[in-house]
Amino acid sequence: MKKYMKGLATWLVLVVGIGIVDLVDSGVALVQFHGTDNTILSSQIMLEQIPCKVKEGDMIYAFKVKGVTVYRCVPGRNKKENKK
């Protein structure tokens, strides 16, 4: 149980935010990330940086690894249309 909790705590620290794709156009996704203080941060993300196909309404999450922001798809939320 301790090992699970430690892993969960590490996971929670790594996640920067969960965002909802608001718009996809010309190779760029406009994603809205919701902060803990009810603020909304809009971010333009190149589709090349997102490892799955996204459309309006899909969810992605972001985290930092060695100072670099990494984007991932929320499992089970996006259609199973992986980039090839």
The total of structural domains in the chain comes to: 1
Domain interval for residue 61: 16-73
Whether 64 maps to a domain, the answer reads yes
pLDDT at res. 82: 47
Confidence grade of residue 1 (pLDDT, cut at 50, 70, 90): low
Whether 46 maps to a domain, the answer reads yes
Using alpha carbons only, give the angle 51, 19, 84 rounded to the nearest 5 degrees: 15
Per the confidence metrics, is the pTM higher than 0.75?
no
3-19 pLDDT, tens per residue?
544 454 444 445 568 89
pLDDT at res. 77: 57
CATH number at residue 53: 2.40.50.140
Whether 45 maps to a domain, the answer reads yes
44-80 pLDDT, tens per residue?
999 999 999 999 999 998 888 888 888 998 877 555 4
Closest C-alpha among 49, 60, 64, 55 to residue 13: 64
